[in-house]
Chains A and B, each alone.
Chain A
Amino acid sequence: MNEPGLKDIWVYLSASPLLGLTITLVAYGLAYRLYLRTSSNPLANPVVTSVAMLIGLLLLTDTSYNDYFEGGQFVHFLLGPATVALAVPLYQQFSRLRQLWLPVTISLICGVLIAAGSSIGLAWLLGGSLEIQMSLAPKSATAPVAMGISEKIGGLPSLTAVLTVATGITGAVLGTKLFDWFRVKDDAARGIAMGVAAHGIGTARAFQVSRQMGAFSGLAMALSAFATALIVPWLVDWMQMLL
């Protein structure tokens, strides 16, 4: 009496990685098309729309995140090699970087300190728990780095991953507007700020504006991943002594 209805097929599929992987790629494909159709309007950021589509679908079909991640992990895993791959644009911008090494170093260290310090400070002021403060602290670094740091300083790595993505989206959506308001015209400065504040998602946006801005954003993202890993655990110790 158990005819294999749609529901059974779904139950079967949702337990296999095939479904999670496929819907991730399909959702992103649709989101990217939408993004192009709105002539790359930052508000139609493909990460936002694909995440929204996927969460909607999973909630509608009552599928758990763990089941989804069986397949999603294959995409997620590529963040590791993608981080390594950043060495290439970094190397290609080396001559320009050499010229600007002093301003870049100063902006990077200040940027990383401001990113972590302001998120801990603001969360503390607004009554956020210690766990939330620590999960927010590394949010401007790229996801795999941020998750590693979060674990070390007592945050929740998976929450940090979400906050990191949200940070990247915020930066990608608001970045160019903010630069216009504050009359930052130089692509190097725009790129560095984008990469420091909004990591890979900001970098993806920066590449849409110009190659130069994208390269600098990639550079800043790579270096600030490194700087965040070195600076944030130390900053947290120091701030905890103060607060």
Chain B
Amino acid sequence: MQFLNGITLLLVYQLLGEITVRLAGVPIPGPVLGMVMLFITLWIRGRTPESVEQASSALLAHLSLLFVPAGVGMMAHFDRIADEWLPIVLALLLSTVITMIATALIMQLTTRWLVKPDSSAQGGSEQ
């Protein structure tokens, strides 16, 4: 029942997000707004209910699975990809590598400059 409650709550927040996005005409996808709303709720309440915790870890534990149907969609775009494979493959590969390296270096440098060293990287990051 806990798990079911958790899933229900996640869906309710997604729905709230979708409705708000439609009503307010904001250019943000519904689930993202739902995530922000849930985050604010957790913050106000000061703790994560067991049910939400369970549903969230279950969904996030196999996050990669959820991308599989979209990945299979590649077969519907074979022609398009074959037509412009060079810009697609190179832009995707290089841009991902550049983004990864640049972001990591920026984060490392700004942490060094802006955060006092006493806050060591020791955090019990229980999921």
Contacts and interface: CB of A to CB of B under 8 A. Distances in A.
B68 interface: yes
A170 B127 CA distance: 25
Give the interface size bracket for B toward A: 35 or more
Contacts of B75: 55, 58-59, 65
Residue among B14, B52, B75, B125 with most chain A CB within 10 A: B125
A196 B99 contact: yes
B96 A140 contact: yes
A156 to B, nearest CB: 8
Given A82-B66, A122-B90, A193-B100, A51 B52 contact: no
A81 B14 contact: yes
Interface string B25-38: 00111111011101
B114 interface: yes
Interface in B55-69: 55-57, 59-60, 62-69
Interface string B72-104: 111111001100101110111111111111111
A87 interface: yes
Given A54-B68, A55-B74, A72-B72, A78 B87 contact: no
B97 A178 contact: yes
Given A54-B68, A212-B121, A81 B60 contact: no
B42 interface: yes
Given A89-B127, A128-B87, A200 B92 contact: no
13 contacts: A78-B66, A80-B30, A82-B63, A89-B127, A92-B126, A118-B95, A122-B90, A126-B91, A139-B92, A163-B92, A189-B105, A211-B127, A233-B27
